[in-house]
Amino acid sequence: MALLTTILLLWSITIAATTAPVKSLQQLLADADADVPRPPSYTPLPPSLDPWYRAPTTYDWTLTDPGTVLKIRRAPLLNLTVGNALLAYQLLYRSTDSSYNPSWDVTTLFIPRWQARCSASTPALCAHALLSYQLPYDTCNVDASPSFGLHFGEPYGEIADALGLGWFVAVPDYEGPLASYAAGVQAGHATLDGVRAVLQVAGFFGLRMDRAKVALWGYSGGALASEWAAELSVQYAPKMKLAGVALGGLTPNVTSVTEYLNRREGAGLIPQGLMGIATQHPDAYRWIVSRLKPAFRARFLSVRQMTAAQAIGAFMYQDIYGYFVGGYRDLHTRVMQMMYNVDGYMGYHGVPRMPLFIYNAIHDELSDIRDVDELVDRFCGVGANILYHRNTVGTHTQELINGRGRGFVWLRSVLDGSYDSIYSSMGCTIQNVTYNLAPWVGWG
């Protein structure tokens, strides 16, 4: 009898935990505004130490729909470190990993300064655009996620520029809670669900939901997340309307990138990428670790505590294949190929239904331009609408700067509704261009 009583008690506790009422968005926002940490005494914790970066435990969040907002908090320092931001909020939301299991991610929502003029009596002054900006953070270290890193400043200034145009800007931690760098499906799901989450709350801050347009933008690792989101949107978010997606410095083929980077300046991105993508594939992760030469294992695995810049500095010009017992062959076994087939190759998960702007340096040293050409040809052959700029000058790092202005011009057209009057809305336009605005900049 005592045993039965204990079982019933445990069962009732479990039921209570899983059926606790979920707070409404209004309640979550009210709680966030009521509990605002005060700078400068407030010091943000990195995700690995911050309990806020955990899924709720008072109810079964896995039963919610992808994109459901699970937590909201104010981020009072971020409107100080990022220019043109009136307020900043962080949203933890339900998402889906590369194996289509429930997961969660975080996005940071920046509200533009000019939104302070928005009111019910002045709707024309309210924002009507949302840009999901996928920042390239290129690391398997969760503490390098943008939601934390932006407390120390914005690396490229593009968030501030977009806010200056009056757009809402969301910056997702698209690598997820495991920092799954280079895992395409994970990144695409997180990006799409981040948009879903933001659209649930943006109306409370005055975004004109009756006419709001949404665009995605990313360069390099950020383009990886954005491109996968564009592909996956067809089947993962069929009701989502994206006005356009801008993609710079694409990396369509993860194995090609590995071969391209080995022994080069950016070789440190190889261990980052392998450790990142393998977090979504436990069998591949175990294989990678088991094949590392004992003398080099600790050094290789140390990338899990590094930023992208630190890894590039630590492994510069090294032969990464030399860290493995079987060399090159160890990274091309069946278990590795299964991982690459799921998460490593663009162009096989759907055809983007929205306009795309793709810009790449022909002499990009991180990714072979022929891989980008092939991806564009694949999409163009099945009806995609793409403007593709192949820049005749510059490196991968330089094209980030060389392409920035063109990216903004194109994004403005899709977000203000002028796209059809400026660009071809049917088929593909492929152009060799020459934009040489950037000084030489090395890795890191």
- Out of 128, 151, 281, 396, the active site residue is 396
- Out of 173, 193, 364, 371, the active site residue is 364
d(Cα 248, Cα 332) in Å, to the nearest integer?
28
d(Cα 76, Cα 73) in Å, to the nearest integer?
9
Contact 220, 249 (CB under 8 A): yes
**Taking the CA of residue 409 as centre, how many other CA atoms within 13 Å lie in the half-sphere pointing to its CB?**
9
Q: Is 189 a catalytic residue?
A: no
Element (H, E) at 202: none
If one counts every other C-beta atom within 10 angstroms of the C-beta of residue 317, the result is: 11
What is residue 305's DSSP assignment? G
β-strands 129-134, 213-219 pairing: parallel
- Out of 220, 226, 233, 413, the active site residue is 220
Query: How far out from the chain centre does Cα 320 lie?
Result: 26
Q: Is 41 a catalytic residue?
A: no
d(Cα 68, Cα 71) in Å, to the nearest integer?
9
Query: How far out from the chain centre does Cα 105 lie?
Result: 10
Q: Is 364 a catalytic residue?
A: yes
Contact 179, 140 (CB under 8 A): yes
Q: Tokens at residue 265, please?
A: 């300046």
Q: Which residues are catalytic?
A: 220, 364, 396
